[in-house]
Amino acid sequence: MNNKQANIEELVQQLAAKLTEKGWMLATAESCTGGMIAAACTDLAGSSQWFERGFVTYSNEAKTEMLGVPAELIAKHGAVSEEVVRAMAEGAIRHSRAQVSIAVTGVAGPGGGSAEKPVGTVWVGWCIESLTFATCLHLKHGRAAIRQATVIQAFKALLSAVPSPR
């Protein structure tokens, strides 16, 4: 196991502990990572106690059909945008029994980038207790590295946002 995999495993264990203590479930909505976040969650034994479901919504149509992201929102802002990742995170909550969601959409490359949204532009969004947040990442070093860094940053965002049990 390399250091990045070990780091992901450690982050998942920390998140699992927080969610389990609160009795919360997680749903994921993934585009550019293609299910890597959900896979990292379910790699941990006992994840059924805190992982509810994952949506892999790689196409714009899937974002609309599975998560309820308005097609007009995608047309206006593009799939890789704050507006769309927020709608994905909220849709994951609406279409699951989870209290917490994480969503990612981005340009992993090597193609598909533009001057406005170059390869490595990734939006991470999360919804906790009816509040939705988003952050934009600018990652480098090729498709595999961008996808893996997105997974790590998504878990870090959730860990900092999920309140510790009282």
Any domain includes 124? yes
Rounded Cα–Cα distance for residues 148 and 103 (Å): 14
Q: Which of 121, 93, 117, 99 is nearest to 108 (CA)?
A: 121
Any domain includes 166? no
* Range(s) of the domain holding residue 56: 3-161
| CATH number for position 23 | 3.90.950.20
Tens-level pLDDT at each residue, the chain (166 residues): 566 666 999 999 999 999 999 999 999 999 999 999 999 999 999 999 999 999 999 999 999 999 999 999 999 999 999 999 999 999 999 999 999 999 999 999 999 989 999 999 999 999 998 899 999 999 999 999 999 999 999 999 999 999 887 6
CA atoms within 13 A on the CB side of 67: 36
Residues 82-106 as b or e (16 or more Cβ within 10 Å = b): ebbbbbbbbbbbebbebbbbbbbbb
Whether residue 84 contacts residue 77, with contact meaning beta carbons closer than 8 Å, is answered with: yes
Any domain includes 143? yes
Count of domains in the chain? Answer: 1
